[in-house]
Amino acid sequence: MSSVVVNDATVYAGQPASRGDSRDAVARDVVVVDGVITDLRASDAPGDAHVIDANGLVLLPGFVDLHTHLREPGREDAETICSGSQAAAVGGYTAILAMANTTPVTDTAEAAERILDLGRACGLVDVQPIGAVTRGLAGEQLAELGLMQRSRARVKVFSDDGHCVDDSRVMRRALEYVRSFGGVISQHSQDAALAGSGACCHEGEISGRLGLPGWPAAAESVIIARDVQLARHTGGRVHVAHVSTAEGVEVIRWAKAQGIAVTAEVTPHHLALTTEALTAYDPVFKVNPPLRPSEDVEAVRAALRDGTIDAVATDHAPHARHDKEHAFVDAAFGMLGLETALAVVADVMLGDDFGWSDIARVMSTAPAAIAGLEQHGRPIAPGEPANLVLIDPAAQRTINAATSRSLSRNNPWHGMTFTGAVHTTILRGRVTATEGAPASC
Amino acid sequence: MSAATAKSMPKHLLSVSDLDADLIRTLLDTAAQMQDVQRREVKKIPTLRGRTVINLFFEDSTRTRSSFEIAGKWMSADTINITGKGSSASKGESLRDTVRTIDAMGVDALVIRHSASGACHQVAGWIDAHVINAGDGTHEHPTQALLDAYTMQQRIGDLAGKHVVIVGDLTHSRVFRSNLLSLRMLGARITIVAPVTLMPSGIRSWAERDGFTVAHDLDAVLRDGDRVDALMMLRVQKERMTGGFFPTPREYTVGYGLTRPRLDRLTADHPGVVICHPGPMNRGLEISADAADSAESLILDQVSAGVAVRMSVLYHLLAGGDAERGEGGAA
pLDDT digits (tens, 9 = 90+) for B197-229: 999 999 999 999 999 999 999 999 999 879 999
What three-state secondary structure class fits B111? strand
pLDDT given at position A12: 84
- How far is residue B110's CA from residue A438's CA, in Å, rounded to a whole number? 46
- How far is residue B146's CA from residue B313's CA, in Å, rounded to a whole number? 9
pLDDT given at position B88: 52
- Taking the CA atoms of residue B37, residue B40, residue B42 and residue B47 in that order, the dihedral angle to the nearest 10 degrees is -10
Residues B107 and B164 in one domain: no
Strand pairing class (A93-98; A126-129) = parallel
10-residue averages of pLDDT along chain B (331 residues): 69 98 97 93 94 95 95 96 69 88 96 97 97 97 98 97 97 97 98 97 97 97 93 87 85 97 97 96 96 97 96 94 42 39
Q: Which of B87, B97, B139 sits opposite A211 (nearest CB)?
A: B139
- How far is residue A318's CA from residue A68's CA, in Å, rounded to a whole number? 9
Domains and CATH numbers, chain A: 3-59+382-438 (2.30.40.10), 61-371 (3.20.20.140)
Query: Across chain B, which distance is largest between two alpha carbons, in Å?
Result: 57
**Nearest alpha carbon to residue B326 among B311, B316, B318:** B316
**Chain B residues lying within 8 Å of A328, measured CB to CB:** 116-119, 122
Task: Quote the pTM value.
Answer: 0.94
Looking at the complex, report in whole angstroms how far the Cα of residue B174 sits from the nearest Cα belonging to chain A: 8
A312–chain B Cβ distance below 8 A for any pair: no
Chain A segment 78-137 residues within 8 A of B by beta carbon are none
Say if residue B263 is exposed, middle or buried (CB neighbours under 10 Å; 0-12, 13-18, 19+): buried
Per-residue pLDDT at A85 exceeds 80: yes
Strand pairing class (A3-11; A26-33) = antiparallel
Closest-approach residue (CA) in chain B for A282: B122
**What is the number of domains present in chain B?**
2
Chain A segment 138-167 residues within 8 A of B by beta carbon are none
Strand pairing class (A50-53; B130-136) = unpaired
Per-residue pLDDT at A172 exceeds 80: yes
A308–chain B Cβ distance below 8 A for any pair: no
Half-sphere CA count of A232, side-chain side, radius 13 A: 14
Residues B152 and B110 in one domain: no
C-alpha distance from residue B129 to each of A202, B124, B212 (Å) = 32, 8, 36
Three-state SS string over chain A comes to CCEEEEEEEEECCCCCCCCCHHHHCEEEEEEEECCEECCCCHHHCCCCCEEEECCCCEEEECEEEEEECCCCCCCCCCCCHHHHHHHHHHCCEEEEEECCCCCCCCCCHHHHHHHHHHHHHHCCCEEEECECCEHHHCCCCECCHHHHHHCCCCCCEECCCCCCCCCHHHHHHHHHHHHCCCCEEEECCCCCCCCCCCCCEECCHHHHHHCCCEECHHHHHHHHHHHHHHHHHHCCCEEECCCCCHHHHHHHHHHHHCCCCEEEEECHHHHHCCHHHHHHCCHHHCCCCCCCCHHHHHHHHHHHHHCCCCEECCCECCCCHHHHCCCHHHCCCCECCCCCHHHHHHHHHCECCECHHHHHHHHHHHHHHHHCCCCCCCCCCCCCECCEEEEEEEEEEECCHHHCCCCCCCCCCCCCEEEEEEEEEEECCEEEEECCEECCC
C-alpha distance from residue A230 to each of A97, A168, A226, A236, A375 (Å) = 24, 8, 6, 8, 31
- How far is residue A288's CA from residue A411's CA, in Å, rounded to a whole number? 15
Cβ atoms within 10 Å, residue A294: 11
A396: left (phi over 0), alpha (psi -120 to 50) or beta: beta
pLDDT given at position B224: 83
Closest-approach residue (CA) in chain A for B137: A211
Residues B112 and B209 in one domain: no
- How far is residue A6's CA from residue B107's CA, in Å, rounded to a whole number? 62
* Averaged pLDDT score across all residues of chain A: 95
Q: Which of B88, B94, B201 sits opposite A204 (nearest CB)?
A: B201
Query: Contact B72/B64 with Cβ under 8 angstroms?
Result: no
Looking at the complex, report in whole angstroms how far the Cα of residue A226 sits from the nearest Cα belonging to chain B: 24
**Chain B residues lying within 8 Å of A320, measured CB to CB:** none
- Taking the CA atoms of residue A360, residue A364, residue A369 and residue A374 in that order, the dihedral angle to the nearest 10 degrees is -120
- How far is residue A359's CA from residue B10's CA, in Å, rounded to a whole number? 48
Residues B120 and B147 in one domain: no
DSSP state for residue B49 in the 8-state scheme: T
Query: Contact B129/B103 with Cβ under 8 angstroms?
Result: yes
**Chain A residues lying within 8 Å of B118, measured CB to CB:** 210-212, 281, 327-328
What CATH number should be reported for the domain holding residue B116?
Answer: 3.40.50.1370
Out of A21, A65, A160, A315, pick the active-site residue: A315
Closest-approach residue (CA) in chain B for A284: B122
Closest-approach residue (CA) in chain B for A329: B116
- Containing H/E element for B136? strand B130-136
- Note whether A322 contacts B94, CB cutoff 8 Å: yes
Range of the domain at B157: 142-302
Per-residue pLDDT at A284 exceeds 60: yes
pLDDT given at position A26: 78
Residues B263 and B286 in one domain: yes
Residues B23 and B113 in one domain: yes
Residues B81 and B225 in one domain: no
**Chain A residues lying within 8 Å of B95, measured CB to CB:** 325-327, 330
C-alpha distance from residue A241 to each of A216, A314, A412, B75, B128 (Å) = 17, 10, 20, 57, 42
User: Which residues have C-beta within 8 Å of that of residue B328, sequence separation ≥ 6?
Assistant: none
DSSP state for residue B223 in the 8-state scheme: H
Residues B161 and B106 in one domain: no
Residues B147 and B289 in one domain: yes
A203–chain B Cβ distance below 8 A for any pair: yes
Tell me what the mean pLDDT of segment A112-139 comes to: 98
Cα-flanking dihedrals φ and ψ of residue B65, to 5°? -65, -45
Query: Contact A388/A6 with Cβ under 8 angstroms?
Result: yes
Angle ∠(A107,A110,A111) on CA atoms, nearest 5: 50
Residue A315 annotated in active site: yes
Residues B116 and B210 in one domain: no
Query: Contact A127/A153 with Cβ under 8 angstroms?
Result: no
- Note whether B87 contacts A327, CB cutoff 8 Å: yes
Residues B147 and B293 in one domain: yes
Closest-approach residue (CA) in chain B for A193: B243
**Chain A residues lying within 8 Å of B115, measured CB to CB:** 327
Residues B285 and B171 in one domain: yes
- How far is residue B315's CA from residue B331's CA, in Å, rounded to a whole number? 10
pLDDT given at position B213: 97
- How far is residue A434's CA from residue B1's CA, in Å, rounded to a whole number? 57
